[in-house]
């Protein structure tokens, strides 16, 4: 079974007075359930745009895209947001945490949107933080945490809804080598424990080596590649 089946995906951005940028160009991508897929490519090659399509944040100009059995073009913006909230976890390079909330509150945020009771939210957020080795950080302010710790909070938040699909956009790109390695192992292990699927955008050869399948992106085009 595939969690993602994309065919001929294309996304263009208009530029005043110039030809449009083809950020994603005729991309075919399938992701089987329970697999880790790495996408590597230079800056500007379209990786974030492609993840945005997979997340239903962006709409393709051409092509078809099925995510967990749902053809995204048939869903409204609200339905896509609901799919994202309920079944997709996202990890960002810049962590995407809210500085005004504690680590625990950040992790619990998707549950608040899903109207889970405060008591259950706290219970699950504590478990989530324990899973990423931050059991003591529930009440910590984000600015008290190191980069590696912040991204572990980001991972815990992405997993809190038990999503079937996790999308990670250079999740270790802001970290030093040691922290990057730790976060990568933590993320891939957590995904594999759950039998979930991960699409991991990365510049890091070690990330690509932990994947079941490895793609290269160049100028919007995606090809199967061999890890460096």
Using CB under 6 A, list all residues that contact ligand ATP: 13, 21, 23, 41, 43-49
Least CB distance to ligand ATP at residue 216 (A)? 11
Beta bridge partners of 18: 15
Nearer to ligand ATP, 25 or 132 (CB): 25
**Helix (H), strand (E) at residue 95:** none
Q: To the nearest whole angstrom, how small is the minimum distance from the Cβ of residue 44 to Mg ion?
A: 8
Yes or no: say if 53 and 88 are a contact pair by the CB < 8 Å rule: no
**Partner from Mg ion, ligand ATP, none binding residue 44, C-beta < 5-8 Å depending on class:** ligand ATP
Strands (E), 1-153: 2-15, 18-32, 36-40, 62-67, 70-71, 88-92
CB of 46 to ligand ATP, least distance (A): 4
Binding segment toward Mg ion, per CB under 5 A, in 22-30, 42-50, 76-84, 188-196: 42-50
List all residues 6 or more positions away from 127 whose beta carbon is below 8 Å from its beta carbon: none
Question: What ranges in the chain are assigned the alpha helix state H?
Answer: 47-54, 77-87, 103-113, 118-131, 147-159, 177-194, 205-209
In the set 35, 45, 48, 179, which binds Mg ion (CB under 5 A)?
48
Q: Is 223 helix (H, G, I), strand (E, B) or coil?
A: strand
CA distance 183 to 193: 15
CB of 221 to ligand ATP, least distance (A): 12
Shortest reach from residue 217's CB to ligand ATP, in Å: 6
Q: Closer CB to ligand ATP, residue 87 or residue 218?
A: 218
Number of residues in contact with Mg ion under rule CB under 5 A: 1
Q: Which is nearer to ligand ATP, 43 or 100 (CB)?
A: 43
**Beta carbon nearer to ligand ATP, 91 or 160:** 91
Kindly list the residues in this chain that would bind Mg ion in the complex (CB under 5 A).
48
């Amino acid at each position: 079974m595939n969690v993602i089946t994309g065919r001929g995906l294309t996304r263009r951005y208009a530029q005043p007075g110039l030809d449009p940028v083809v950020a994603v160009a005729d991309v075919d991508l399938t992701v089987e359930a329970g697999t880790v897929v790495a996408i590597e490519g230079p800056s500007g090659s379209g990786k974030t745009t492609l993840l945005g399509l997979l997340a239903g944040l962006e709409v393709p100009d051409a092509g078809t895209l099925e995510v967990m059995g749902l053809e995204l073009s048939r869903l409204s913006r609200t339905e896509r947001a609901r799919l994202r909230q309920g079944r997709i976890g996202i990890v960002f390079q810049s962590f995407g945490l809210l500085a005004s909330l504690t680590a625990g509150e950040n992790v619990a945020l998707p549950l608040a949107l899903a109207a889970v009771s405060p008591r259950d939210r706290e219970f699950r957020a504590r478990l989530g933080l324990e899973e990423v080795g931050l059991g003591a950080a529930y009440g910590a302010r984000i600015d008290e945490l190191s980069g590696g710790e912040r991204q572990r909070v980001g991972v815990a938040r992405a997993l809190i809804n038990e999503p079937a699909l996790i999308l990670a956009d250079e999740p270790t790109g802001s970290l030093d080598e040691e922290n990057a390695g730790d976060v990568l192992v933590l993320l891939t292990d957590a995904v594999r424990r759950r039998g979930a699927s991960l699409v991991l955008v990365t510049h890091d050869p070690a990330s690509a080596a932990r994947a079941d399948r490895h793609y290269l992106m160049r100028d919007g085009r995606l090809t199967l590649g061999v890890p460096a």
